[in-house]
Amino acid sequence: MLGAAMIGIAALVLTGCADSGTAPPPPVPGQADTSGYDQIIAGSPVADAAAIPAGSWADKVKQRGKLIRGGTDQGALFSLKDPATGKVTGFDAGLAAMLAHYITGKSDADAVELVITTVDTRETLIQNGDVDAVFATYTITEPRAQKVAFAGPYYQSGTSVAVRADDTTITGVGDLNGKNVVTQANSTAVLALQQFAPQANAILLQDDPQCLAALQQGRADAYVIDESILVSAASRNPAIKVVGQPFTQEPYGIGLPLNDPSAKQFVNDWLQKIYADGSWAKLWQATVGSVVKSDPPAPPAIGSVPGS
Amino acid sequence: MGVVTDNLGFLLGGLLVTLELTVLGFAGALVIGTVLAVFRVSPIPPLRWVGAVYVEVLRNMPLLTLLVLVVFGLPDIGIRFSLFTSAAICMAVFAGAFVCEAVRGGINTVPVGQAEAARSLGFTFTQSLRYVILPPAFRTMVQPLVNIFIGVVLGSSLASAVGVSELTNRTQVLNLQSAEAVVLFLVSGAIYLVIALLGGAAGGVLERRVSGGR
């Protein structure tokens, strides 16, 4: 991990020096190609004036001229900040930018203001009105739906298992009991692990690089998290491999204020529009699809899970 | 509150880990800090330098940085402790720097004339520390040491960031299940408050006891 950090710093310095050049940096696996990505957002639909009634949730965003999004800047594939440019890209970040574009008609970086949220703060920040919407691989659960409204689900994911490449003893979630299993402390994979491998010794770390380091250094025998994150990691790192099939269904939703029903209705209508015109599939292809290497899945039906 | 009462055993297990980290960390810090303070007041320059460098490095580094370095950096050079051991070591070496300064500060409150008197009576360096300087110095160290103890209690919550399943880490897990962040963090905050208050009260008792002879 230290070595990786050093390389990261060196890369930062190098890109900093190379800014005056015109050659674009080589694409990094797991990160979106941002030129195509920007076009997808700019090409996504814009709401008719009639769709935004005065005083509604969307009208407040429109008057302000930007969407205040709750989320993270450290989620590979979904919402990751490029330290060289300061730009946050990914599937969640792109959807937030599309929603801001839909409401305000703007697709520049100022259309979305990112407020960093964690699992500990998401519901409270929505309830207090500090953020308009949370896009943060936010799994729809019924306890959460008591506090916030969920638009969507907009993506159906699943928790999977990764192990060191030379490990042949673990072939799926069924082999995890009694093993040291690392996962991200703020993910629903923690709950999935408790349910599917209750005898596993769970180690909860803060982020993806820490979990990968723990797996490679032998602190943990397996790493469980969203499958796309594992596929992305395995594509960059030959020392680990993904085993078995996803063992959960994680419907991701957009967290919205519960006390303003116009918000959920409006965002669901917008999701239908980007499903229908293909913007959703194009964004998936440019982000998660860049490592999963398959055709875009069919988007999940709006309101199809409890709590949505 | 249901989420707290339903998971009381789980939370109390976390409290136990927090207490273990605190006790081990603080005890280790007392040993390390006292040895270093003796280094820093010793007549041997290289020992004084070692003490000074240790204090300046450890005292001026975030505890979280130290935790990440020990947990993820040391395995790169082939040294791997368990997560709990790593956290306890970090607490001890980090707080040790502060204990050193508290002990040294206490020693410096004893007038230099007393040390000179001890030396003129033929006391060795160790004897003058043990019989002349440390007993009165200890009185003035109690409150600074209580502050460091509280720092260790609260600092142990950072171990949650490197995967130690202590009170804060378990509070986060419960919040993941229940989405009751406010209630859960109020409860865990209250538990830290109680531990710190008890530590402060014990320090008060100790202070009255050691100054009883005056």
pLDDT of residue B212: 59
Domain membership flag for residue B6 = no
Strand A159-164 relative to strand A133-139, pairing:
unpaired
Domain membership flag for residue B85 = yes
Q: How many residues does chain A have?
A: 308
Cα distance between residue B169 and residue B192, in whole Å: 13
Domain membership flag for residue B191 = no
**Angle at Cα A46 formed by Cα A75 and Cα A115, nearest 5°?**
30
- Contact list in A for residue B179 (CB cut-off 8 A) is 123, 141, 143-144, 146-147
Nearest to A112 by CA among A129, A94, A139: A94
Domain membership flag for residue B115 = yes
Predicted confidence (pLDDT) per residue in B109-162, tens digit = 999 999 999 999 999 988 998 899 888 888 889 999 999 999 999 999 999 999
pLDDT of residue B213: 54
What ranges do the domains of chain A cover?
29-156+250-292, 159-243
Q: Of B75, B76, B172, which has the smallest distance from its Cβ to A120's Cβ?
A: B172
Please judge whether B72 and A186 are an interchain contact, meaning their C-beta atoms are less than 8 angstroms apart: no
Domain membership flag for residue B12 = no
Query: Is B64 touching A (CB cutoff 8 A)?
Result: no
pLDDT of residue A33: 53
Output the CATH code of domain A159-243.
3.40.190.10
Determine contact, residues B196/B150, Cβ cutoff 8 Å: yes
Q: How many domains does chain B have?
A: 1
Domain membership flag for residue B193 = no
pLDDT above 50 for A50: yes
Predicted confidence (pLDDT) per residue in A72-100, tens digit = 888 878 888 888 888 899 999 999 999 99
Predicted confidence (pLDDT) per residue in A247-284, tens digit = 998 899 999 999 988 999 999 999 999 999 999 999 99
Average pLDDT of chain A, as a whole number: 85
Looking up residue B119, the CATH number of its domain turns out to be: 1.10.3720.10
In this complex, how many residue pairs, one in chain A and one in chain B, have their CB atoms less than 8 Å apart? 73
Q: For residue B39, give its domain range.
A: 18-164
Q: Which residue of A has its CA nearest to B162?
A: A205
Please judge whether B172 and A185 are an interchain contact, meaning their C-beta atoms are less than 8 angstroms apart: yes
Query: Is B173 touching A (CB cutoff 8 A)?
Result: yes
Please judge whether A1 and B76 are an interchain contact, meaning their C-beta atoms are less than 8 angstroms apart: yes
Domain membership flag for residue B80 = yes
pLDDT above 70 for A176: yes
Predicted confidence (pLDDT) per residue in B25-51, tens digit = 999 999 999 999 999 999 899 999 999
Whether A29-156+250-292 shares its CATH topology with A159-243 is answered yes
Please judge whether A217 and B72 are an interchain contact, meaning their C-beta atoms are less than 8 angstroms apart: yes
Q: Of B80, B169, B182, which has the smallest distance from its Cβ to A124's Cβ?
A: B182
Substitution target in A219, A221, A225, A248 with the highest count of B β-carbons within 10 Å is A219
Predicted confidence (pLDDT) per residue in A200-236, tens digit = 999 999 888 899 999 999 999 999 998 888 888 888 8
B190: tokens are 């209250």
pLDDT grade for A290, boundaries at 50, 70 and 90: confident
B165: tokens are 């399943």
Q: Looking at the complex, report in whole angstroms how far the Cα of residue B181 sits from the nearest Cα belonging to chain A.
A: 6
pLDDT above 60 for B180: yes
Cα distance between residue B24 and residue B156, in whole Å: 11
Please judge whether B177 and A143 are an interchain contact, meaning their C-beta atoms are less than 8 angstroms apart: yes
pLDDT above 80 for A7: no
Yes or no: domain A29-156+250-292 corresponds to CATH 3.40.50.10490: no
Domain membership flag for residue B84 = yes
Cα distance between residue B129 and residue B117, in whole Å: 12
Predicted confidence (pLDDT) per residue in B184-198, tens digit = 999 999 999 999 999
Tell me, yes or no, if the pTM score tops 0.95: no
Query: Is A143 touching B (CB cutoff 8 A)?
Result: yes
pLDDT above 80 for A46: yes
